[in-house]
Amino acid sequence: MKSAVLTGEHFINGDEACAEGAIAAGCMFFAGYPITPATEVAEQMALRLPDVGGTFIQMEDEIAAMTCILGSAWTGAKSMTATSGPGFSLMMETVGLAVVTETPCVVVNVQRSGPSTGLPTQGAQADMMQAKWGSHGDYEIIAIAPSSPQEMFNLTITAFNLSETYRVPVFIMSDEIVGHMSEKVVIPPAGKIRTVSRPKPKGRKENFKPYAPGPKGVAPMPAIGEGYNVHVTGLTHDEKGYPVMSVDTQKEMMARLLGKIRNNLQDIILTEDYQLADAEIVLISYGVAARTSYTAVQTARRMGIKAGLLRLITVWPFPDDRIQALAEQVKAFVTVEINMGQICREVQRCAQGRARTYFVGHPGGAIIPPADVMAAIKEAMQAK
C-alpha cells in the first residue's frame, strides 16, 4: 500500500499528476464518470484512494458525480470530480447548488474542443466563460489554469486549499494537452506540502447558524453526524440556513456569497510575471497557451521588441486591478488562448481603452503556433 504523498521524481501525465495532487491535498472522496480526456484522473483516483482509506465511486452520469461529491463533502471529506466539456455542461446546475450551500469541492475540467462532442481527443480552452457563468444566477467561483503536469500536481493542492478556505467550488481548468502530456513531476516530502481544511465550528450546537460568516466572511462548516442539525438548501436562505423568500434575505445571502471571494482577491489571485518589468507589449495567457506565449516573448526579445507575459494562474476571479494598472504603462495587450475569444474580452474590459488589445485564438484541436503570436506582436508594435 502506497502512502498519500509519493515523494520523489516521476514521469507522469497531467491527469495522473492532478490525481496525485488531490491525494496529497487530503482528498478522500472522488465520484466521476468516464470521459475523454479526463478519464485518467478518475482511473488514478480509483487506484490511489484505497491507499489512503478513501472512497471512489463511478456514478451513472456527471450530474450524479457532481451531486455525489456535495453529499460526501458534508460528511467532512475533501471531495473531487473530474470531467471534460459535455460532462462539465451536465454538472452546471449542481455547481450552483455547491455555490449556494457553500460546499467545498474541486472540479477538474480537462478541456477538449467543442461545441457538443467536438474533438474529444484534442485540446481547447473554450470552457473558460462557462466556468464563470455556466450555472444560472450570479455567483463567484475560483478557476485555476495549470500549464504543466507539475502544475497539475501543485495547483490541485492549491485548489483544495482555496476550496476549503472559502467553502466554494474550485475549478481546475486544464486541457487535453496538459492532461495528456508527460513530463517530470517532482513531489516534495509530505512535510513540505501545505494543506488547509475548512473552518470548523466551536461552541454551542443549539441554534447553530451554519451560514453566519466568520473570518474572511466564511462560515465554519460542521459535518453530518456532529450534532449541529444543519439544514442545507438551494433555496435562498438566512444565516440559520432556513429558506426565506424575501428580497432582503436574497440581498444578504448574495452579499455573503460574492463578498467572501470579492473581498479576498489578494489572497486568492495568483499570476506569474515573465519579462514584464519593461514590457511594452504584454501577452496575457493561461494554461497550455502560456507555453506558446513564453516562446513568443523570447523570440520578440531577440528581435529587440520589449514583450512580456502576464500568466494567469487563477483565471477567476479575474485580476482586474493588475490589468488596469498595466494598461496605464504598456502599449498593447495580446491575449493568447485556444478559443475564439473569451478571456480577451475580460482583458479588453480591464484595459478600458488605455492600451490596445489584440487577440490570438484558435478554434481548438491544437496548440497555437508562436508565429501567430509574433504576427500579433508585430501588428501591435506597428500600430500608431
Q: DSSP letters along 5-24, please?
A: ---EEEEEEHHHHHHHHHHH
Window 11 to 30, contacts with other proteins (CB under 8 A): 28-29
By beta-carbon proximity to other proteins, the closer residue of 238 and 379 is: 238
For the bound state, the minimum distance from the C-beta of residue 43 to other proteins, rounded and expressed in Å, comes to 14
* Site track for other proteins across 78-107, x = CB under 8 A: -x-------------xx-xx----------
63 binds other proteins, rule: CB under 8 A:
yes
Nearest one of 69, 65, 48 to 153, comparing CA atoms: 48
Amino acid at 245: M
Amino acid at 131: A
For the bound state, the minimum distance from the C-beta of residue 14 to other proteins, rounded and expressed in Å, comes to 25
- Secondary structure of 143-192 in HEC code, one letter for each residue: EECCCCHHHHHHHHHHHHHHHHHHCCEEEEEEEHHHHHCEEEEEECCHHH
By beta-carbon proximity to other proteins, the closer residue of 13 and 163 is: 163
Nearest one of 132, 33, 142 to 81, comparing CA atoms: 33
Q: Which of 17, 45, 73, 131 binds other proteins (CB under 8 A)?
A: 73
Q: Largest Cα–Cα distance in the chain?
A: 69
Instruction: Please name the residues in contact with 155: beta carbons below 8 A apart, sequence gap of 6 or more.
Output: 21, 144, 146, 172, 313
- Secondary structure of 286-317 in HEC code, one letter for each residue: CCCHHHHHHHHHHHHHHCCCCEEEEEECEEEC
For the bound state, the minimum distance from the C-beta of residue 236 to other proteins, rounded and expressed in Å, comes to 12
By beta-carbon proximity to other proteins, the closer residue of 231 and 251 is: 231
By beta-carbon proximity to other proteins, the closer residue of 119 and 223 is: 223
By beta-carbon proximity to other proteins, the closer residue of 74 and 286 is: 74
For the bound state, the minimum distance from the C-beta of residue 77 to other proteins, rounded and expressed in Å, comes to 4
Q: Which of 2, 11, 34, 61 binds other proteins (CB under 8 A)?
A: 61
* C-alpha 348 chain-centroid distance: 22
Q: Which of 120, 199, 213, 243 binds other proteins (CB under 8 A)?
A: 243
For the bound state, the minimum distance from the C-beta of residue 208 to other proteins, rounded and expressed in Å, comes to 11
Nearest 5°: the CA angle 24, 30, 12 is 50
Of the chain, the end-to-end C-alpha distance in Å amounts to 64
For the bound state, the minimum distance from the C-beta of residue 93 to other proteins, rounded and expressed in Å, comes to 6
- Report the chain's C-alpha Rg in angstroms: 21
139 binds other proteins, rule: CB under 8 A:
no
For the bound state, the minimum distance from the C-beta of residue 55 to other proteins, rounded and expressed in Å, comes to 5
64 binds other proteins, rule: CB under 8 A:
yes
* Site track for other proteins across 216-235, x = CB under 8 A: -------xxxxxxxxxxxxx
Read off φ and ψ for residue 353, nearest 5 degrees: 75, 0
Number of residues counted as binding other proteins (CB under 8 A)? 46
Distance CA 73, CA 224 (A): 9
For the bound state, the minimum distance from the C-beta of residue 263 to other proteins, rounded and expressed in Å, comes to 28
By beta-carbon proximity to other proteins, the closer residue of 238 and 372 is: 238
Binding positions for other proteins, rule: CB under 8 A: 28-29, 31, 49-50, 53, 55-57, 59-61, 63-65, 67-77, 79, 93-94, 96-97, 223-235, 242-243
